[in-house]
Chain A
Amino acid sequence: DAGVTQSPTHLIKTRGQQVTLRCSPISGHKSVSWYQQVLGQGPQFIFQYYEKEERGRGNFPDRFSARQFPNYSSELNVNALLLGDSALYLCASSLGDHSSGNTIYFGEGSWLTVV
């Protein structure tokens, strides 16, 4: 079975541009969440979706948005990119909407560089 898949794996954008990152969860998983990981730090929670509804939002500006589709895949959009948005963006999926007891699996991530 395929794990969590993300695309693109690497991309370079210019300040002010917009970017869309994509994620497909493990088959059967209905919960998807997004994390930002800056070099040398642990991942920071951005969003969580379950059954196509937003269930949690981290401390990120409104430039960050996301959605989940009927097939449970998800997109993360970032508008008006800043240099500080350069990071590894991780998608994670789990079976249910409660993390207690549900293992959370991560994709390989999308490396975003803003120049």
Chain B
Amino acid sequence: GQNIDQPTEMTATEGAIVQINCTYQTSGFNGLFWYQQHAGEAPTFLSYNVLDGLEEKGRFSSFLSRSKGYSYLLLKELQMKDSASYLCALPIGGYNKLIFGAGTRLAVHP
């Protein structure tokens, strides 16, 4: 089976850096997705990692360690609009099926 763990809530200050961790267990690894979801809205794609290492996209970076079953999302120069839930997800079975973690609610304060 699959299991995904993320912290439930995090707070950070505008302009700071925050790291959101995700640990997982899965029988077959097909990569890992990160999505952002603002309250009442649909999840929006942030990143997809399938190889170990850090991938940077502007203010957002995502890291993967397959041997440790670990990923993190790094958000730099935090803005108020970054207040949202961040979802870690594993594709399962090769098809369009994602198993999501419960999500991490990030609150950015002035």
Contact = CB atoms under 8 A, between A and B. Distances in A.
B60 to A, nearest CB: 15
Interface in B65-110: 87, 89, 91-103
A45 B94 contact: no
A99 B42 contact: no
Contacts of B43: 43, 90, 106
Interface string B25-48: 000001101010000011111001
B103 A41 contact: yes
Given A106-B42, A109-B42, A56 B48 contact: no
Contacts of A99: 30-31, 91, 94-98
A101 B97 contact: no
Contact count band on A: 20 to 34
A23 to B, nearest CB: 12
Given A42-B87, A42-B103, A101-B31, A31 B95 contact: yes
Interface string A59-82: 000000000000000000000000
A105 to B, nearest CB: 7
B31 A42 contact: no
B50 interface: yes
Contact of A42 (B42, B89, B92): B89
Contacts of A4: 42
A48 B97 contact: yes
B96 A97 contact: yes
B32 to A, nearest CB: 11
30 contacts: A4-B42, A31-B95, A32-B96, A33-B96, A33-B97, A40-B102, A41-B102, A41-B103, A42-B100, A43-B87, A45-B92, A45-B97, A48-B95, A55-B96, A56-B95, A92-B98, A94-B96, A98-B95, A99-B31, A99-B91, A99-B95, A100-B91, A100-B94, A101-B31, A102-B96, A103-B45, A103-B48, A106-B42, A109-B41, A109-B42
Interface of A: 4, 31-33, 35, 40-45, 48, 50, 55-56, 58, 90, 92-94, 97-109
